[in-house]
Structure 1
Amino acid sequence: MVRRTGGLFRRHNTCCGIDLHCHVVPSRFPTSPGGRDVPGWPSMTAAHECHATVVIDSKPYRTVSNACWAVERRLEAMDRSGIQIQALSPMPELFSYWIEAEAADGLVRHVNDVIATMVTEGGGRFVGLAGLPLQDLDRSLAELTRTVSELGFAGIEIGSNVNGVPIGDERFHPLFAEAERLGAAIFVHAVRPAGTDRLVGPAPLQQVLAYPTDVGLAAASVVTGNVLSRFPGLRIAFSHGGGTFPSLLPRLEQGYETFSSLKETLAERPSAQARRLYVDSLVFEDETLRHLTAIFGEERILIGTDYPFNFSEAEPIARIHNAFQEAALRERLTFANALAFLDIEEEVNE
Structure 2
Amino acid sequence: MSGAEKEVAGAFTDRCTCRGIDIHCHVVPGSFPPPANGATVRGWPSMIAANACHATVVIDDKPYRRISDACWVAERRLEEMDRTGIRIQALSPMPELFGYWIERAAAHDLVRYVNDAIAVMIGQAGGRFVGLGGLALQDVDLAIVELHRIVGELGFRGVEIGSNINGVPIGDPRFHPFFVEAEKLNAAVFVHALRPTGMDRLLGPAPLQQVLGYPTDVGLAAASVITGGLLQKFPKLRIAFSHGGGTFASLLPRLQQGYSALPTLNEIMPESPAVQARRFYVDSLVFDADMLRHLVAVFGEDRVVLGTDYPFNFREKEPVARIEEAFADVQLRERLTFANARAFLGLDEV
TM-score range normalised by the length of the shorter chain = over 0.9
The answer to whether the 8 Å contact 1:238/1:280 transfers is: yes
Q: Does 44-53 or 146-155 show the bigger shift?
A: 44-53
| Aligned counterpart for 2:188 among listed residues 185, 188, 198 | 185
How many Å apart are 1:13 and its aligned residue?
6.4
Equivalences for residues 318-329 of structure 1 within 5 A: 318-329=321-332
Equivalences for residues 74-223 of structure 1 within 5 A: 74-223=77-226
Q: Which amino acid aligns with 1:41?
A: W
How many Å apart are 1:8 and its aligned residue?
3.2
| Aligned counterpart for 1:42 among listed residues 23, 36, 45 | 45
Deviation readout 1:271-310 (Å, 9 max, x if unpaired) = 0000000000000000000000000000000000000000
Q: Distance in 1 between matches of 2:77 and 2:37?
A: 34
Q: Distance in 2 between matches of 1:258 and 1:221?
A: 19
How many Å apart are 1:129 and its aligned residue?
0.3
Aligned residue for 2:20?
17
Deviation readout 1:148-194 (Å, 9 max, x if unpaired) = 01110000000000000000001111111110000000000001100
The answer to whether the 8 Å contact 2:284/2:307 transfers is: yes
Q: Which runs of 5+ in 2 are unaligned?
A: none
Q: Distance in 2 between matches of 1:71 and 1:5?
A: 18
Distance 1:6 1:158, change over 3 A: farther
How many Å apart are 1:40 and its aligned residue?
0.2
Equivalences for residues 283-322 of structure 1 within 5 A: 283-322=286-325
Q: Distance in 2 between matches of 1:325 and 1:256?
A: 35
In the TM superposition, structure 1's runs of 4+ consecutive aligned residues that sit over 6 Å from their partners are none
Q: Distance in 1 between matches of 2:199 and 2:222?
A: 19
The answer to whether the 8 Å contact 1:4/1:343 transfers is: no
Q: Distance in 1 between matches of 2:338 and 2:310?
A: 17
Q: Distance in 2 between matches of 1:53 and 1:333?
A: 34
Deviation readout 1:97-139 (Å, 9 max, x if unpaired) = 0010001100110000000010111110000001000010110
Instruction: Tell me if 1:334 matches 2:317.
Output: no
TM-score by length of 1: 0.97
SS at match of 2:287: coil
The answer to whether the 8 Å contact 2:91/2:131 transfers is: yes
| Aligned counterpart for 2:57 among listed residues 41, 47, 54 | 54
SS at match of 1:23: strand
The answer to whether the 8 Å contact 1:4/1:344 transfers is: no
SS at match of 2:67: strand
Q: Distance in 2 between matches of 1:129 and 1:175?
A: 15
Q: Which amino acid aligns with 2:48?
A: T
How many Å apart are 1:48 and its aligned residue?
3.4
Aligned residue for 2:253?
250
SS at match of 2:43: coil
Distance 1:15 1:256, change over 3 A: same
The answer to whether the 8 Å contact 2:43/2:102 transfers is: yes
Q: Distance in 2 between matches of 1:92 and 1:8?
A: 25
The answer to whether the 8 Å contact 2:259/2:266 transfers is: yes
Deviation readout 1:39-88 (Å, 9 max, x if unpaired) = 00000111134001111001111110000000000000000000000000
Distance 1:142 1:6, change over 3 A: farther
Aligned residue for 1:235?
238
Aligned residue for 1:264?
267
Distance 1:179 1:4, change over 3 A: farther
TM-score by length of 2: 0.97
The answer to whether the 8 Å contact 1:6/1:152 transfers is: no
SS at match of 1:321: helix
The answer to whether the 8 Å contact 1:187/1:237 transfers is: yes
Q: Distance in 1 between matches of 2:153 and 2:4?
A: 14
Sequence identity percentage: 67
The answer to whether the 8 Å contact 2:4/2:127 transfers is: no
SS at match of 2:22: strand
RMSD across aligned C-alpha pairs, in angstroms?
1.3
Distance 1:66 1:147, change over 3 A: same
The count of corresponding residues between Structure 1 and Structure 2 is 345
How many Å apart are 1:91 and its aligned residue?
0.1
Distance 1:325 1:179, change over 3 A: same
Distance 1:306 1:121, change over 3 A: same
